[in-house]
Amino acid sequence: MANYSVRNQVAIISLCSPPVNALSSDVRRGILDSLKKAEQDVKVAAIVICGEGRTFCVGADITEFKSEFKTFPNLFELVDILESSPKPIVAAIHGHAFGGGLEVALACHYRVALSSAKLALPEVKLGILPGAGGTQRLPRLIGIDSSMQWIAFGDEYSAQIAANIGIIDRIFPSNADILESAVQYAQSIIGKSLINRRVSKLPVKDASKVSHIMEKYKQIVGKKSRGAIAPMVCLEAIKHAALLPYVEGMKKERMGIEALMGSDQSKSLIYMFFAERQVRNWTIPGTGINSKNTKPIKVEKVAVIGLGTMGRGIVLSLLKAGIKHVSVMELNKTARENGLLFIKNILEGYAARGTISETQKRSMVDALKPVSNFEMLKDTDLVIEAVFESMSIKKDIFAKLGQVCKPSAVLATNTSALDVDEIAMVTPKPKQVVGMHFFAPAHVMKLLENVRGSKSSPQVIATAMNMGQRMGKVTVLVGNCHGFVGNRMFRHYTVETDFMLEEGAYPEQVDTVLKKFGFAMGRYQVGDLSGNDIGYRMRTKFEMTNKQQPPGAPERERHGVRYCPLADFLVESGRLGYKSDGKGWFRYLGKNRELTVDNEVTSMIDSYRRRNKIVPRKINGEEIIERALYPLINEGFKILEEGIASNPMEIDLILVHGYAWPRHTGGPMFYAHLIGLPKILRVIERHWNNAGLREPHWEPSKMLVRLVKNHGNPDIMSWTTLERETVRSAL
């Protein structure tokens, strides 16, 4: 709804729909009713539209997308009514003016804001475009070039930047009373002509350069938003602002939003939006323990052990989270000095770019407390161990931590695959131990996969979850198993793509198909970038690599299971990727590291096939997608079945934020939901029937089988509930 009052000739329409004043049908109706009152009241000479509570308005109510536009006034009707009002309207912005909220402001005749306010047209991030005149009004105010930048990427901008380019007419200090300031401003414009204040009537300044600007943004969008449809549709709509009169441009905008609204990509992105918020409400499946009934312990002092790549990133994340006491322990002098230098340089960079102030930088540097022995950690509330991925080294450290740390201290291990329970058992209080799996570089990557050991106490889990959220990470709670969720699923992707190389595909073909699907890089380029030796080291641990096999052992089998040694040959011939002189699955040439196909790799694959009498066959794109992605989905269902994740959203967040799964497909589980479970199961069963136990990753998940058998193609939101009911009724 919207509240209405009048103060010294100024009508105040305040949006009132906590927590973020989304433009639900009630709010839109409230604005319209208030506007009518203001227009009819002869004592009112100007109008202010503001937001109650923490923010101005974050845009359309996403939960009402399906029905919203059926009720009068819909958003695009409302903005035109506002703009044509005979009385001047001032938008008073604090907090956020996002999406439809900014479009409402653009339809007002003046816009004022607190300096702390943020503005954005982020619709593209929901797979749609600003459909209430945003693509037509913004270019008339700030030009085509800046509008493309704002709308095609959807990033937020400060009120000051918005003022610099002409969106905001007056900025007030962040501690000013926005309403009071806006009312005074409104009084100052009473009686002024509105002729140049109706944005839809203005010309587009850089209209003549539209083709050139369009080409520039097409290139950028093609690279940055691979596979996403909405950014291109946004560009097209903005182009029409330059080429057509406003009314005609609006028709094009309307066609754009009708094409995008309800599309699979938009559904996926909206799902992601809510998943990122839903994940804060963690739960331990089957226990009744959850974020609502468990309090974290107060954490003031944190320690990080190990200042390698992971440790440095974790320290930076803690400093950015505002932790005022971060002990860093690295016994190797060179690693310690390099690590501290790295951290300080990054902080310098943040300060130089204005991400943090000089004062904040100084206080972050002051928060760093190098320590040289375990005794010095006795007061620490949370210790995060981030040393080399070795069970014996980690056990050694935890045994020491168990002796010196206070009983309430939370002891976290940053491991990507090791057994958290095994580590916990060396301490006197295994319930204090938890896994915190960060992704490199930890100060950049948004994902944190927190691992609950079988003994971890609810409070310890709550503390790790809370710390992840304080660090601004998408923090997902998962159970303890080999590889947890992400690595456990992703393994199948590499295994199955390598099988396709054996059978007839080449790395460039696989990568091209995966990039078309939306991955920023294909599986083989990623291997080259991160280093092919990483996987090799892991396989060495399980005695799987080519070199470790006894003479005469079958080349294509390990422990009775199908195996492809091509990745081993690659590493054993020194082709680790970018870092080994640009040689990996591909060859990277010149200073731009241009990716090229390397005949040496092609010959290696061909001669391997000949040696093993494999007759190569043509593998098409559809097969590549199915074989690369479906085993991973199958594993996702096994993870749900075992309660390692408590719902599909958690799995999707992990794959999107940690493994670059394309966001506009919603993650593997949502993608499966879009394809339909019966088809997913059919493909998995076909491979399982062909391959059998030699390829165990194709064994269909029992949960997937049960869902399809009992419910056909159930909605993703019901999967875990239906599964629980089925399992319960079978008991």
State the catalytic residues.
Answer: 103, 123
- In Å, how far are 162, 242, 339, 371, 550 from 346, measured between CA atoms? 28, 42, 11, 21, 48
Q: Which of 20, 38, 152, 318 binds ligand L434P2JQ (CB under 6 A)?
A: 20
Nearest to 14 by CA among 219, 215, 180: 180
Residue 724 phi, psi (nearest 5): -60, -40
If the CB atoms of residues 69 and 153 are measured against ligand L434P2JQ, the closer one turns out to be: 69
Per-residue 3-state assignment (H helix, E strand, C coil) for 19-32: CCCCECHHHHHHHH
Within 606-645, the residues that bind ligand L434P2JQ by CB under 6 A are none
Q: Alpha carbon of 455 to those of 302, 465, 647: distances in Å?
A: 22, 16, 22
Query: Which residues, listed in sequence order, are joined to residue 6 by a DSSP beta bridge?
Result: 11
Per-residue mark of binding to ligand L434P2JQ, 247-266 (x: CB under 6 A):
----------xx--x-----
Pick the piece of the chain touching ligand L434P2JQ (CB under 6 A) from 62-70, 141-149, 591-599, 624-632: 62-70
Distances (CA, A) of 689 to 109, 503, 531, 693, 695: 67, 18, 34, 9, 10
Q: Please pick, from the candidates 1, 62, 371, 417, the single residue that binds ligand L434P2JQ as defined by CB under 6 A.
A: 62
Candidate segments 56-64, 158-166, 307-315, 436-444, binder of ligand L434P2JQ by CB under 6 A? 56-64
Q: Which residues 478-497 are close enough to bind ligand L434P2JQ by CB under 6 A?
A: none
Residue 100 binds ligand L434P2JQ, judged by CB under 6 A: yes
- H or E element at residue 38: helix 25-40
Contacts of 728 (CB under 8 A, 6+ apart): none
Q: Provide the minimum distance between the beta carbon of 101 and ligand L434P2JQ in the complex, in angstroms, as a whole number.
A: 7
Q: From 14-22, 536-544, 579-587, 631-639, give the range in contact with ligand L434P2JQ by CB under 6 A.
A: 14-22
Place of tokens 């204040």: 197
User: Minimum CB separation from ligand L434P2JQ for residue 102, in Å?
Assistant: 8
Looking at the Cβ atoms of 128 and 672, the one nearer to ligand L434P2JQ is 128
| Least distance from ligand L434P2JQ to the Cβ atom of residue 477, Å | 17
Which of these segments, 17-25, 28-36, 200-208, 545-553, binds ligand L434P2JQ (CB under 6 A)? 17-25
Note whether 436 and 414 are within 8 A (CB).
Answer: yes
CA-CA-CA-CA torsion sign (160, 164, 166, 169): positive
CB of 276 to ligand L434P2JQ, least distance (A): 8
Size of the site for ligand L434P2JQ (CB under 6 A): 27
Instruction: Name which position in 28, 46, 49, 76 contacts ligand L434P2JQ (CB under 6 A).
Output: 76
* Residues 418 to 457 in contact with ligand L434P2JQ, rule: CB under 6 A: none
Residue 492: CB minimum distance to ligand L434P2JQ, A: 32
**Between 253 and 635, CB nearer to ligand L434P2JQ:** 253
CB of 280 to ligand L434P2JQ, least distance (A): 7
Q: How far is the CB of 473 from ligand L434P2JQ (least distance, A)?
A: 13
The token duo for 279 is: 């994940």
Q: Tokens 């082709």 correspond to what residue?
A: 575
For residue 465, the minimal CB distance to ligand L434P2JQ (Å) is 15
Q: Which is nearer to ligand L434P2JQ, 59 or 518 (CB)?
A: 59
Q: Identify residues 665-684 at the interface with ligand L434P2JQ (CB under 6 A).
A: none
**Closer of 23 and 434 to ligand L434P2JQ (Cβ):** 23
The stretch among 6-14, 71-79, 263-271, 438-446 that binds ligand L434P2JQ (CB under 6 A) is 71-79
Single residue of 3, 8, 63, 612 touching ligand L434P2JQ by CB under 6 A: 63
Considering only the stretches 59-67, 473-481, 605-613, 664-672, report the one whose residues sit in contact with ligand L434P2JQ under the rule CB under 6 A: 59-67
Angle between helices 100-107 and 134-153 (to 10 degrees): 140
- Between the alpha carbon of residue 583 and those of residues 509, 511, 580, 589, the distances in Å are 18, 16, 6, 9
Q: Does 313 bind ligand L434P2JQ (CB under 6 A)?
A: no
Piece of 93-101, 388-396, 556-564, 610-618 that binds ligand L434P2JQ (CB under 6 A): 93-101
Binding flag, residue 56, ligand L434P2JQ (CB under 6 A): no
The only residue of 56, 98, 490, 688 in contact with ligand L434P2JQ, by rule CB under 6 A: 98
* Alpha carbons 650 and 452: distance in angstroms, whole number: 14
Q: Could you give the CA distance from residue 718 to residue 474 in angstroms, rounded to a whole number? A: 23
Which residue in this structure is represented by tokens 């199961």? 681
H-state helical runs in 41-133: 75-83, 100-107
Length of the chain equals 731
Site for ligand L434P2JQ in 264-293 (CB under 6 A): 277
For residues 237 and 252, the answer to whether their CB atoms sit within 8 Å is yes
Distance between CA 171 and CA 117 in Å, rounded?
9
**SS3 annotation, 304-371:** EECCCHHHHHHHHHHHHCCCCEEEEECCCHHHHHHHHHHHHHHHHHHHHHCCCCHHHHHHHHHHEEEE
* Contacts with ligand L434P2JQ, 103-132, as mask; x by CB under 6 A: -------------------xx--x---xxx
DSSP type of residue 105: H
Q: Is 59 in the site for ligand L434P2JQ (CB under 6 A)?
A: yes
Tokens, residue 155: 């990033």
Specify the residue, 60 or 677, whose C-beta has the smaller distance to ligand L434P2JQ: 60
Q: Under rule CB under 6 A, which residues in 496-535 are in contact with ligand L434P2JQ? A: none
Does 410 bind ligand L434P2JQ (CB under 6 A)? Our answer is: no
Quote the strand ranges of 401-455, DSSP E. 410-413, 433-438, 447-452
Question: Which of these segments, 72-80, 227-235, 357-365, 662-670, binds ligand L434P2JQ (CB under 6 A)?
Answer: 72-80
User: Rounded to the nearest 5 degrees, what angle is found at the Cα of 202, between the Cα atoms of 198 and 204?
Assistant: 145
Greatest extent of the chain over all pairs of C-alpha atoms, in Å? 97
Q: Are 9 and 45 in contact (CB under 8 A)?
A: yes
* Binding-site string for ligand L434P2JQ from residue 205 to residue 234, where x marks contact by CB under 6 A and - marks none: ------------------------------
Q: Which token pair is 452?
A: 């609950």
75 binds ligand L434P2JQ (CB under 6 A): yes
Residue 668 CB, nearest approach to ligand L434P2JQ (Å): 23
- Least Å distance, CB 131 to ligand L434P2JQ, is 3
Which residues are 476's β-sheet partners?
449
Task: Please report, as ranges, the residues that interact with ligand L434P2JQ according to CB under 6 A.
Answer: 19-20, 22, 58-63, 69, 74-76, 96, 98-100, 122-123, 126, 130-132, 257-258, 261, 277
